Structure 1
Amino acid sequence: MSDAATKSDAAMKPGWTPRSAWAGILSEGSFGAKGPAGVTATAREDLGIASLIAPEDGEAALSQVVKTRFGLDLPTTPRTVVLAGRALVWAGPGQWLLVTENRTGFASDLQALSGLAAIADQSDGRAVLTLSGGKIRTALAKGCMIDLHPSAFPVGSAALTSIAHIGVHLWRADNGPNGAVFEFMVARSMAGSFWSWFSASAAEFGYSVHVGRG
Structure 2
Amino acid sequence: MPEQLTSASPLAAVTPLGGHVSTHDGAELAEISGLSLISLAITAGKETAFEKAVKKAWKIAVPPPGMSAFAGDVRLIWTAPAQYHLLMPETTGGMLAATLEKTAGAAWCTDQSDSYCMLRLSGPRAREALERICPLDLHPGSFAVDAAARTVMEHLGVLMIREKADRYLLLSARSSARSFLHAVETSLHNIA
Q: For 1:169, what is the secondary structure of its paired residue?
A: strand
The normalised TM-score by structure 2 is 0.87
2:174 to 182, 188, 191: 188
Residue 121 of structure 1, CA deviation: 0.7
The letter for the 2-side match of 1:85 is: D
Deviation of 1:19 (Å)? 0.8
SS at the partner of 1:50? strand
| Consecutive aligned runs of 4 or more in structure 1 exceeding 6 Å deviation | 12-15
- Distance (Å, rounded) in 1 between the aligned partners of 2:76 and 2:15: 23
Equivalences for residues 54-203 of structure 1 within 5 A = 54-103=42-91, 106-107=95-96, 108-175=98-165, 180-203=166-189
Residue 137 and residue 64 in structure 1: after superposition, are their counterparts in 2 closer, same or farther (change >3 A)?
A: same
Instruction: State TM-score, norm by structure 1.
Output: 0.78
Counterpart contact for 2:39–2:84, Cα < 8 Å: yes
Alignment partner of 1:21 is 2:16: yes
Q: Which runs of 5+ in 2 are unaligned?
A: none
Distance 1:12 1:173 in 2: 42
Higher gyration radius (CA): 1
Identity of aligned residues (%): 27
Name which structure has the greater RCO, CA cutoff 8 Å, separation 6+. 1
The alpha-carbon deviation at position 29 of structure 1 amounts to 4.5
Q: CA deviation at 1:102?
A: 3.4
SS of 1:170's partner is strand
* Distance change >3 Å, CA 104–CA 18, structure 1 → 2: closer
Shift of 1:15: 7.0
Helix, strand or coil: the match of 1:171? strand
Amino acid at match of 1:128: M
Deviations 1:34-56 (A, max 9, x none): xxx32111211110110000121
In structure 2, give the amino acid aligned to 1:47: L
Deviation at 1:12, TM superposition (A): 8.8
- Which structure 1 segments of 5+ residues have no match? 1-9, 32-36, 207-214
Using the alignment, how far apart are the partners of 1:29 and 1:63 within structure 2?
39
